[in-house]
Amino acid sequence: DSGVTQTPKHLITATGQRVTLRCSPRSGDLSVYWYQQSLDQGLQFLIQYYNGEERAKGNILERFSAQQFPDLHSELNLSSLELGDSALYFCASSGQDLSGNTIYFGEGSWLTVV
Q: From the CB of 20, what's the least distance to other proteins, in Å?
A: 19
Q: From the CB of 97, what's the least distance to other proteins, in Å?
A: 8
Query: Residue 101, interface with other proteins (CB under 8 A)?
Result: yes
- Give the whole-angstrom CA distance, residue 3 versus residue 16: 33
- Give the whole-angstrom CA distance, residue 107 versus residue 71: 21
- Rounded to 5°, the CA angle 16-43-83 comes to 20
Query: Residue 102, interface with other proteins (CB under 8 A)?
Result: yes
Q: Is the peptide bond before 8 cis (omega within 30 degrees of 0)?
A: yes
Query: Residue 112, interface with other proteins (CB under 8 A)?
Result: no
**Rule CB under 8 A: which residues touch other proteins?**
2, 4, 30-31, 33, 42-43, 45, 48, 50, 55-56, 58, 90, 92, 94-108
